[in-house]
Amino acid sequence: MLPQKNNVAPIRNQIIVKVAESFIKDRFKNADKIPEEIMPDGAMFYHQNIETDREIIKNIALAVMGFCPADEEGKNKSLYEYGQEALKRDKLLPSKLSVIGMACQACMKQQHVVTNFCRGCIARPCQMNCPKGAISFTEQNRAYINPELCINCGMCFNSCPYNAIIKVPVPCEDSCPVGAITKDENGKEHIDNEKCISCGKCLRSCPFGAIVEPYQTIDVLKAIKDDGKKVAAMLAPAVIGQFGGTINQVIGAMKKLGFADVFEVAVGADITTQKEAAEFIERMEKGEKFMTTSCCPAYFRAAKTAVPEIAHYVSDTHTPMYYAAELVKKEHPDYVTVFVGPCYAKRVEAESDPFVDYVITFEEMGAMFAADGIEVSTCEAQEFSQISYAQGRQFPVTGGVAGAVKSLVDGKAEIRCEAIDGLTKESLKLLKRYALKGSENNMIEVMCCEGGCVAGPGCLAMPRKAAVAVGNYVKTGADLRQKLDDEAQKAK
């Protein structure tokens, strides 16, 4: 994927802010000015002309308004008209990733290419290791790859001692772990929504910002600002380090924006920890080979569609979002619940969750703050209504879920943990092998994003920096195991 620092991310963020501002200021009366405000006359353009860039910005803006650009192609409607539709909408469109056709550059087919660094060495490991005999040598004693025979296995790339062979990828296709993205008859990319797991890797990988999904920003702002509803935010534990100021100032900023209350999803993670630990012990007593975690909705979807062999081993325990939202709805049935987190796949999960009404990302939340003129670091510090334990706080980093479960299982069953750090084509093959042949470990944590949820596609902070902040927050939390042991002792 593209690194967190790139030119696409701030442009996209600017569009989200402008759309949110347009709602707050005049309910989209001047929304049609957004493309020109972002790409004014005389600005450097990135495509054929500035009009094309503005049209692409319009498509991204309508995605921010909650529409799918691919479904709207050919409709001659203004942003103002889309805005008015969004204001009248009482039902969300299905969440799905799609490609903006005019923004997609129809990248050349993935291939391996020999550069002029080739020395024509005697060893010729590229030729010797090619399984299809696709490599020959020219009269100039330089390697040549026959594209008709090449299967892009990468053996030549990996074996050249001079790094003279490079891989030319299609970034979105290369990042997709389940092969959901392919070219259409025009060479443009197309996403198969039956295969897609909504992980967002393609969105984060496209260097042209051509991939989008319908946001829920406007629906949430409308519920807060116009409908007079009591809206509760549920902050995912990956929020630590995402915004300026302390976590308590983030709570204050959200209440200043208009949220009636702010709940910590790490409280739900504590419930997940307890239930998943109990489930693990039960499965091991039944003689099962292993269990994998179920907190990542992208992995859960991949287990169903891409690697059905592993589905049986996925924990049946619900995610922290589910348990946190269940608690909110039980205490406040009139609240509108909004999960705020790092993940696009959570939107798909929420479609079948009876307790979650909306899902927005940290990127959207940050844009809402900016649009409403809220500076987090200057806001009054406020408290969560219920405080989490250390175990639930460590969920958003690789190894955190398995570590939390292990802390409650130790002494009650043998547990050997393994973390699969990022869903890739290779890690999915590994999971399939585990399902068919077993694993030496019996508790396998699977995170779709490398580094954990702190590296999710909806994050703002650099993953390593965020992981350090999460680690510091974990240290301030009480031990859930100690609490449970104390309760058991009192019960005796």
First to last CA, the chain: 53
pLDDT at 370 over 80: yes
pLDDT at 299 over 80: yes
Helix or strand holding residue 379 (H, E): none
Q: Which residue ranges form the domains of the chain, and what is each CATH number?
A: 8-105+174-212 (3.30.70.20), 111-168 (3.30.70.20), 219-491 (3.40.950.10)
Instruction: Find the DSSP H helices in 233-296.
Output: 247-257, 265-285
pLDDT at 362 over 90: yes
User: What count of Cα atoms within 13 Å lies in the side-chain half-sphere of residue 185?
Assistant: 0
pLDDT at 469 over 80: yes
| pLDDT confidence band for 245 (50 / 70 / 90) | very high
Nearest in space to 439 (alpha carbons), one of 242, 292, 286: 292
pLDDT tens digits for 148-159? 999 999 999 999
pLDDT at 279 over 90: yes
Pairwise CA distance, residues 385 & 28, whole Å: 35
Pairwise CA distance, residues 169 & 375, whole Å: 40
Contact assessment for residue 123 and residue 134, using Cβ atoms and an 8 Å cutoff:
no
Beta strand ranges found along 111-225 (DSSP E) = 111-114, 135-137, 143-145, 165-168, 181-183, 189-191, 211-212
User: What count of Cα atoms within 13 Å lies in the side-chain half-sphere of residue 107?
Assistant: 19
Between 244 and 164, residue with greater pLDDT? 164
Q: What is the pLDDT of residue 228?
A: 85
Q: What is the pLDDT of residue 97?
A: 95
Per-residue pLDDT, averaged over 125-154, amounts to 95
- Computed over every residue of the chain, the mean pLDDT equals 95
- Provide the β-strand partners of residue 182: 190
pLDDT at 442 over 80: yes
Nearest in space to 96 (alpha carbons), one of 75, 78, 71: 71
pLDDT tens digits for 170-185? 999 999 999 999 999 8
Cα 185 to the center of its chain, rounded Å: 29
Q: What is the pLDDT of residue 2?
A: 79
| pLDDT confidence band for 441 (50 / 70 / 90) | very high
Q: What is the pLDDT of residue 473?
A: 97
Backbone CA torsion sign across 479, 482, 486, 487? positive
Torsion angles phi and psi, residue 314, rounded to 5: -75, 135
∠ CA 15-366-298, nearest 5°, is: 90
